[in-house]
Amino acid sequence: KAGVTQTPRYLIKTRGQQVTLSCSPISGHRSVSWYQQTPGQGLQFLFEYFSETQRNKGNFPGRFSGRQFSNSRSEMNVSTLELGDSALYLCASSAVGLAGYNEQFFGPGTRLTVL
């Protein structure tokens, strides 16, 4: 089985721009979760999508949004980028999702740098 894939792997943007990140889960997995990872804050949960619906949400501002398509692929969008948005963005897929026990499989991440 192919693993979780994320594109692009690296992005450089400037303040005020917007960005869209993509995640393709493992085949058959219906849940996709997004995380932001920074050295100072560690891994922080953004949101989880399951069967095209946002099921769980972290404490990020509305500039961070996402969606999931019928094939379970997910996109995350960040608008009006700020310097503090520079981070590694990870997505993770699982068969069941956060509601039930099921390990999450992480993608390699997208490294976003905001200048």
Partner 1 sequence: GQNIDQPTEMTATEGAIVQINCTYQTSGFNGLFWYQQHAGEAPTFLSYNVLDGLEEKGRFSSFLSRSKGYSYLLLKELQMKDSASYLCAVRDRPPNAGNNRKLIWGLGTSLAVNP
Q: Does 99 bind partner 1 (CB under 8 A)?
A: yes
Backbone angles phi and psi of 109, in degrees to 5: 95, 160
Q: Measured at the alpha carbon of residue 103, what is the angle toward residues 102 and 105, in degrees to the nearest 5?
A: 130
Q: Does 104 bind partner 1 (CB under 8 A)?
A: yes
Query: Dihedral of CA 41/107/68/88: which sign?
Result: positive
Comparing CB distances to partner 1, the nearer of 36 and 72 is 36
The 33-72 site mask, x for binding partner 1 (CB under 8 A), equals x-x-----xxxxx--x------xxxx--------------
Using CB under 8 A, list all residues that contact partner 1: 4, 33, 35, 41-45, 48, 55-58, 90, 98-99, 101, 103-109
